Amino acid sequence: MSAPAAEIVAYLDDLLQIDRYRDMGPNGLQVPGAINVSKIVTGVSAQLELFERALAEEAQLVIAHHGILWGFEPRRIGAAHAKRLRTLLGNDIGLAAYHLPLDGHPEVGNNALIAAGLGADVIEPAFSHRGAMIGTIAHFDDHGADGIAAAELFARVATLTDRDPLVFDAGPAYVRKLGIVSGSAANDLNEAIDLGLDAFLTGEPKEHVMAQARENYIHFIAAGHYATETFGIRRIGELVAERFGVDHRFVDLPNPV
């Protein structure tokens, strides 16, 4: 069964409300491909290996969290970028990417899915980026009068992300409110402190956060940039498959960062 690529992209653009975000690169279709799609491949970061895997899977559309067009990169096409484009354009494979919209969505976003996967009782939007909420606050009020034991929370993070997180366990023994911003959001620890949270989870650490966490009595959890951003992209792939009747394959290309 196949579906128009334009309809799939329009559905995701609308679902993720891409116009609400002032992002570092374009969200939505980045490279056009086949008009009709019978198989999609999803992955965290658009890269040559992902495109080669899509080609091997005979997919017509790749959907990624990190695309190939960024405002912070040189405005020219280098040899590596050209090879990526040749692989896509030469094989009629399209590329769509959703960055901040896929972090901030209250149901299928990375941060909401992490909160749910950790067993949060309430998931509250938080952490504004240029006027749009991209993170969440996970509440653990129903886990007992004091919340969830910090050690149990750290163990759940390890299980959910399938890796041991870097933890600066400077907060209370029990956690009632956990801030979550996937990827590279160590600087949002400042906001977590201002909000009076017990813990903050992101992907990557920065050098200053160890002392910052200790001196403000808050847990800091770095669970991996890649590892914290597999959830949303996999989920929207499943939604596209369910809605349009196309095949879907999530391609896992783990990154230690």
Chain segment 232-249, per-residue pLDDT in tens: 999 999 999 999 999 999
Let me know whether 212 and 123 are in one domain.
Answer: yes
pLDDT tens digits, 179-194: 999 999 999 999 999 9
Global model pTM greater than 0.85: yes
Residue span of the structural domain in which 63 resides:
3-99+229-250
For the CA atoms of 49, 103, 256, 175, the dihedral, rounded to the nearest 10 degrees, stands at -160
Q: Are residues 237 and 190 in the same domain?
A: no
Residue 64 lies in a domain: yes
Question: In terms of domains, do 75 and 107 share one?
Answer: no
Q: Do 135 and 66 share a structural domain? A: no
Range list of H helices, 16-126: 48-56, 79-89, 100-104, 110-117
Q: Is 256 a member of any domain? A: no
Contacts of 61 (CB under 8 A, 6+ apart): 5, 8, 33, 34, 37, 39, 40, 41, 93, 94, 95, 96
The per-residue pLDDT for range 92-119, each reduced to its tens digit, is 999 999 999 999 999 999 999 999 999 9
3-state helix, strand, coil in the chain (%, to 5): 35, 25, 35
Say yes or no: 220 and 245 in one domain: no
CA distance 205 to 209: 7
Distance CA 69, CA 94 (A): 14
The answer to whether residues 112 and 89 belong to one domain is no
What is the average pLDDT value for the chain, to the nearest integer? Answer: 97
On whether the CB atoms of residues 237 and 119 are closer than 8 A, the answer is no
The model's pLDDT over 50-93, given as tens digits with 9 standing for 90+, comes to 999 999 999 999 999 999 999 999 989 999 999 999 999 999 99
Residue 179 to residue 186: CA distance in whole angstroms:
11
Q: Is residue 255 part of a domain?
A: no
With respect to residue 194, please indicate whether it lies within any of the assigned structural domains.
yes
Interval 7-66: pLDDT, tens: 999 999 999 999 999 999 999 999 999 999 999 999 999 999 999 999 999 999 999 999
Q: Give 133's DSSP letter.
A: E
Shared-domain flag, residues 9 and 82: yes
- Residues 40, 237: contact at Cβ < 8 Å? yes
Let me know if residue 215 belongs to a domain.
yes
- Three-state DSSP state, 97: strand
Same domain, 146 and 212: yes
Give the pLDDT confidence score for residue 239 in this predicted structure.
98
What's the confidence (pLDDT) of residue 144? 74
Residue 17 sits in a domain of what CATH number? 3.40.1390.30
> Residue 120, Cα to own-chain centre: how many angstroms?
18
Give the chain's domain count: 2
Per-residue pLDDT at 153 exceeds 80: yes
Query: In terms of domains, do 213 and 149 share one?
Result: yes
Is 145 in the same domain as 180? yes
Give the tokens for residue 139.
Answer: 């509440």
